[in-house]
Amino acid sequence: MDFFYLSPMERDALALSLWVAGWAVAVSLPVGILTAWLLARVKFPGKAILEGIVHLPLVLPPVVIGYLLLMLLGRNGIIGGWLYRSLGITLAFSWRGAVLAAAVMAFPLLVRAVRLSLENVDPGLEAAARTLGAGPVRVFFTVTLPLMAPGILTGTLLAFARSLGEFGATITFVSNIKGETQTLPLALYTLTQVPDGEHGALRICILSILIAMVALIISETLSRRVAAQIKA
Amino acid sequence: MLTVQISHTQGQFDLNIAFQAPSGGVTSLYGPSGAGKTSIVQMVAGLLRPDEGYIAINDRCLYDSQKGINLPPEKRRIGYVFQEGRLFPHLSVRANLTYGMHRTPARHRFIDFDEVVALLGIDHLLARRPAGLSGGEKQRVAIGRALLTSPTMLLMDEPLASLDGARKAEVIPFIKDLGEHFSMPILYVSHEPGEILALATHVVVLKRGEVVDSGTPETFFDPYPPAYGDRQAAGF
């Protein structure tokens, strides 16, 4: 029965993974919705550049993103140095940095899903809401956002799953510190580097698959239910 | 009394419009498609900004380019029934109906929920979603939704265009009742003489972005042969 009990290392890694992925999604969701809205609805100079930057993590090697984050946000980095001196916040080599790395890597997936759902919202419905006495902000929260719900849900789950699996940017930016930044993929990597680690590696591998499956099933069920709610 | 005096250029199309609609009854904007009917209605509603001019209801100015007045749609207190209904798909019929009502200050409300629901015959639909309604039911709900904001005027942009003959005949009496019952001035866009004869008390004729004539419906259309009912039977 030992098989079903998690070792302290596994438990730490699992808890940390869920914690980091949860925060990554929570942080990137409002920013992602705003970005999607800018890209889908607003015309402004430099839009193509913003679009490029948003999608960069999708095409760049994760290690490059991690290295960029380290340069910008490390204690000696341009932004990171200022953050440390003025606010006492350190991102590098802490779980907060792992959150940021995961959020950046998952961001394009989130924005794509949200943007797609926004583009499917009929502006005519928003105009109708205006004539019914709702101001632009109220229209957004009572008409636009609810109609985007399926896309937001899909985007959130995709981003969550992507964050759980984040490896390259995380290990480069915040290293592999047990209990602080050692998420499941990093723990798996560590086990493959030590002698007799195969058994532990396999266990983490199975654990990862289980979590991914559960996330996907929840995502499918929820988005089907939300879509049915809107259409029925 | 609605006063509209605007000029607007949209690409190749020039709109130069001046007309008044009486404070009671149904004023119909009549003309072929491309005459600028929908643009005018959108300007009155505040969804389209004219280049220049003046729009007012009684003494209440909605738009005045010289004084720099341009009330946003949500401040105009004008009900708008769209050609395609535009019901909110994520809300029940009841929530659709009350969407605008809840946003109307109590002191402005003079139209009662139960009265509208009874008049439009939609009480059995309240719990349903718009996706499950027929075309005629959707338009009746859309009319109720606009009416429940207690507007100072109701705009209807070809509200029957997407309906077949039988469904039209189902909705027309409701529109007729509503103008009389609530003494609500209605601006009704149409290119169907039959609809105008059945509903309008005053007609403004548009052609290529200009008002070419106005008067009572009978001055423009022969109300008798063939009768509206016959034309309907013939698939009008």
Identify from B99, B101, B107 which residue to disrupt to test chain A contact, counting A C-beta atoms within 10 A and taking the largest count.
Answer: B99
**CA-to-CA distance for B234 and A61, rounded, in angstroms?**
69
Query: Which residues of chain A neighbour B144 with C-beta distances below 8 Å?
Result: none
**CA-to-CA distance for A133 and B76, rounded, in angstroms?**
8
| DSSP H helical ranges for B70-134 | 93-101, 113-120
Residue B90 is nearest to which of A127, A134, A147, comparing CB atoms? A147
pLDDT of B234: 45
Tokens of B173: 């009496």
Answer whether the bond into residue B130 is a cis peptide, omega within 30°. Answer: no
Q: What is the pLDDT of residues A103-162, one digit of tens each?
A: 999 999 999 999 999 999 999 999 999 999 999 999 999 999 999 988 898 899 889 989
Sorted by where each starts, the structural domains of chain B and their CATH numbers stand as 2-233 (3.40.50.300)
Mean pLDDT of B115-139: 89
List C-alpha distances in Å: A15 to A65, A98, B137, B138. Answer: 24, 13, 53, 50
**CA-to-CA distance for B150 and A43, rounded, in angstroms?**
36
Q: CB–CB of B39/B48 below 8 Å?
A: yes
Checking if the pLDDT of B64 tops 90, the result is: yes
Tokens of B140: 């009746």
Residue A133 is nearest to which of B84, B88, B149, comparing CB atoms? B149
Q: CB–CB of A131/B78 below 8 Å?
A: yes
pLDDT of B236: 43
Tokens of B132: 């499950």
pLDDT of B212: 86
**Does any CB of chain A come closer than 8 Å to the CB of residue B46?**
yes
Q: How close does chain A come to B107, measured CA to CA in Å?
A: 15
**Does any CB of chain A come closer than 8 Å to the CB of residue B88?**
yes
**CA-to-CA distance for B202 and B218, rounded, in angstroms?**
9
Looking at the DSSP assignment, which residues form a beta bridge with residue B2?
Answer: B21, B57
List C-alpha distances in Å: A148 to A8, A155, B22. Answer: 41, 11, 42
pLDDT of A24: 96
Which residues in A have their CB inside 8 Å of a CB on B?
122, 124-125, 127-135, 138, 142-143, 146-147, 149, 229-232
Mean pLDDT of B125-131: 92
pLDDT of A231: 64
Checking if the pLDDT of B14 tops 50, the result is: yes
Residue B80 is nearest to which of A122, A131, A149, comparing CB atoms? A131
Checking if the pLDDT of B93 tops 70, the result is: yes
**Does any CB of chain A come closer than 8 Å to the CB of residue B132?**
yes
pLDDT of B94: 95
pLDDT of A197: 85
Identify from A121, A132, A138, A140 which residue to disrupt to test chain B contact, counting B C-beta atoms within 10 A and taking the largest count.
Answer: A132
Inspect the interface and report whether the beta carbons of B103 and A122 lie closer than 8 Å.
no
Checking if the pLDDT of B233 tops 50, the result is: no
Q: CB–CB of A91/A103 below 8 Å?
A: no
**Does any CB of chain A come closer than 8 Å to the CB of residue B162?**
no
Inspect the interface and report whether the beta carbons of B47 and A230 lie closer than 8 Å.
no
pLDDT of B235: 44
Low-confidence ranges of chain A (pLDDT < 50): none
Crossing angle for the helix pair A184-193 and A198-231, nearest 10 degrees?
A: 160
List C-alpha distances in Å: A214 to A106, A165, A208. Answer: 18, 14, 10
CATH topology of domain A12-231: MetI-like fold (1.10.3720)
**CA-to-CA distance for B79 and B176, rounded, in angstroms?**
16
Identify from A126, A131, A137, A142 which residue to disrupt to test chain B contact, counting B C-beta atoms within 10 A and taking the largest count.
Answer: A131
Checking if the pLDDT of B230 tops 60, the result is: no
B3 three-state secondary structure: strand
**Does any CB of chain A come closer than 8 Å to the CB of residue B52?**
no
Q: What is the pLDDT of residues B176-228, one digit of tens each?
A: 887 778 888 899 998 888 888 888 889 999 988 888 888 888 887 776 655 45
Q: CB–CB of A208/A201 below 8 Å?
A: no
